[in-house]
A and B are shown apart, each in its own frame.
Chain A
Amino acid sequence: MDTLPVPVRVLPSIESPVYAFDPDRKQYYSTKILRYIVNSHSDSALRTIGITAVDLFIPILTYVFGEAQLDGKAAIVSGARLKQEYYGLKPDKRLYVERLFKELMHELGHTFGLTHCDLSYCVMHLSNNVIGIDKKTAAFCENHKDQLINKLKELEIPYGK
């Protein structure tokens, strides 16, 4: 499991993003929420990432697990489809947290300019379902780790393991 060498500040929860709700699709438009997060991003923070329980979509796709500004400041991750109960299975909190962590690292990776990886174990591998998320690890492959280190160097943040 990889971590980023920066302190994490948890902001107070915000209200359900009703402004992003699409009554036809009964889902939330993730880009609208992302825009909200970008607008509330503080320059004292390196990145801001939102976590939501609602199901997200972008107009062209039926759903997304999350969305990030590529090489930007913010990202959003949804836990809706990461829970076992979404698929009619018994709740598994450990598995849910593990999946959520992987998706958070994945979207954060995008905010540092990383794109998808062909290696199935890399956290930057594109997973379109929970089986894919469970298959990959929470770590970056060598190549993506190097890219991340370089990006952090640009931002004058030393990378630790």
Chain B
Amino acid sequence: MGSKPSIMIVDDEEIVRTSLSSWLLEDGYDVVPVESGKLALEALKKKSYDLMLVDLKMPEMDGLELMKEVKKFLPDLPVIIMTAYATVDTAVKAIKEGAFDYLMKPFDPEEISITIKKIMKQQMLEQENIFLRKELAKQFQFHQLYSKNKKMQEIFELIKNVAKTDVTILIHGETGTGKELIARALHAESLRKDKPFVPVSCASLTETLLESELFGHEKGAFTGASTMVKGMFEMADKGSIFLDEIGDISPKLQMDLLRVLETKEIVRIGSTQPIPVDVRVIAATNRDLGKAIANGTFREDLYYRLNVITIDIPPLREKPEDIPLLTEQLIEKVNIETGKSVKRVNEDAMALLMQYRWPGNIRELKNVIERSVVLAKEDIITLNEVGPCFGRNVKDGISSGGSADMSLDQMEKNHITSVLKNNNWNISTSAQILGIDRTTLYNKIKRYNLGEDNK
């Protein structure tokens, strides 16, 4: 609310508009009188108002119809319905349909004064409330990360302590837990913050492509290498490189990487000339590298090079206290992106979000919130929007719920099967809902042997 609260008067009688305007002007309000519902709707698109005083009986669009239209896009704008022909029925109807109050013309000067002051005070308190909630959220914010969880708060502290050193960090966490955001926070807290942060997704590229991507290549190094291209390590010089899904790289690349970590030099493909690089390496994986070492798919020496400090991010199901906070932040973000003004998730929908086990973690929550905000017809997200995101099992309260003795793998298998079925085995849509990429989904389908018989 600005320093001068703004009031719109909608009445087809000029005499009412004029007299009410002049009276409210003396009270220091910014007043805009309009003569019809149609003009009111147009005026609302041009500037914001703190209150609308609307006559009940108007030709074409009456006061209640206008209020209904206004509430569709400005659900919080208080509306006072005015009428010369008051009946209890119309008063009740007006309040039921969302009017703040109902006044009979002519008004007692005291009554209208008190009503408007009450609205303005309420508006002020609401804005104060929003401000305080934002301030409170800041307490739990660390760069782009939000968490009230004790373990996460400890991670934030750890990041602050280790960021300024150049030690290699290994981030471990399930898909969608925010490993890249942790890496970005590490970079932002480091002395390298003004230099590049270069993220590389190791799982998405073939061995040859990844090698070229990481180390670059000389002109003519291979077919199609028409120019010299610098690799990500060179691009990240003086900054940080983030090697995501490090557990997925080939034995050859593991060796190359080990050499870079030891010598702090890279060699472009097609060259023998070592190039010194000053890069802080942050690696991440969702795999159990200990197991990978045991079965010989990951080099132990590389593991120890990478794993100077490990940050273990807890999955979302272990920090349910973060779900309301993250939901609030995500709604705000999606509102900005989509131009919507969704305020919150109602109790039933929040209960479902809290019960769900989130195999896709925060990324899955983000997808659910994005879809719900887009689908929301009102300013509050209900089960109608959240429910379909979880498929048919929503009625049971927990999307992929199962018995308490069910293993995590079994739960994941059930959930993936359920999402695939609900989306007619459309891989892209299902991957998006699950908060994982298509490759990961294909791998999981293969791993759990899901196929035609599951359809």
Contact = CB atoms under 8 A, between A and B. Distances in A.
B108 A116 contact: no
B22 A70 contact: yes
A31 B313 CA distance: 72
A57 interface: yes
Contact of B110 (A60, A67, A128): A128
Interface stretch (B25-33, B35-43, B416-424): B25-33
A61 B109 contact: yes
Interface in B1-54: 13, 15-16, 18-20, 22-23, 25-28
Interface string A118-133: 0000000010110000
B107 interface: yes
B110 A129 contact: yes
B439 interface: no
Interface residues of B, number: 20
A63 interface: yes
A74 to B, nearest CB: 13
A27 to B, nearest CB: 10
Contact of B27 (A59, A61, A126): A126
A129 B113 CA distance: 12
Contact of B26 (A31, A115, A128): A115
A40 interface: no
A136 interface: no
B59 interface: no
B113 A126 contact: yes
Given A31-B18, A60-B20, A128-B113, A70 B25 contact: yes
A60 B113 contact: no
A60 B26 contact: no
B106 interface: yes
B25 A64 contact: no
Nearest to B4: A115
A19 to B, nearest CB: 15
B33 to A, nearest CB: 11
B107 A61 contact: yes
B26 A110 contact: yes
Given A31-B18, A58-B23, A64 B28 contact: no
Contacts of B28: 115-116
Q: Is the interface of A mostly helix, strand, loop or mixed?
A: mixed
A62 interface: yes
A146 B179 CA distance: 60
Nearest to A58: B19
B411 interface: no
Contact of B19 (A59, A68, A110, A128): A59
A62 B19 contact: no
Interface in A78-136: 110, 115-116, 126, 128-129
Contacts, number: 56
Given A128-B109, A128-B110, A128-B113, A60 B19 contact: yes
A58 B405 CA distance: 76
Contacts of B27: 115-116, 126
Interface in A132-159: none
B112 interface: yes
A3 B15 CA distance: 34
A68 B25 CA distance: 11
B15 A63 contact: no
A116 B18 contact: no
A60 B25 contact: no
B18 to A, nearest CB: 7
Nearest to A31: B19
Contacts of A61: 19, 23, 106-109, 112
B259 interface: no
B22 A67 contact: yes
A128 B110 CA distance: 5
- Best-surrounded residue of B15, B23, B26, B113 (most CB of chain A within 10 A): B26
Contacts of A64: 23, 109
B105 interface: yes
Contact of A116 (B13, B26, B112): B26
Interface in B90-135: 105-110, 112-113
Contacts of B110: 128-129
A62 B106 contact: yes
A50 to B, nearest CB: 16
Contacts of A67: 22
B22 A62 contact: no
A62 B107 contact: yes
Interface string A31-72: 100000000000000000000000001111111100110100
Contacts of B25: 70, 115
Nearest to B14: A59
Contacts of A115: 25-28
- Best-surrounded residue of B20, B109, B110 (most CB of chain A within 10 A): B109
8 contacts: A57-B106, A58-B19, A59-B19, A61-B109, A64-B109, A70-B25, A115-B26, A128-B110
Given A59-B16, A67-B22, A129-B110, 9 more contacts: A58-B22, A60-B19, A61-B106, A61-B109, A62-B109, A63-B109, A64-B23, A68-B26, A128-B110
Interface of A: 31, 57-64, 67-68, 70, 110, 115-116, 126, 128-129
User: Sorted from nearest, which 10 A-B pairs have the closest CB atoms?
Assistant: A115-B28, A58-B19, A128-B110, A128-B109, A60-B20, A60-B19, A116-B27, A59-B15, A59-B19, A62-B106
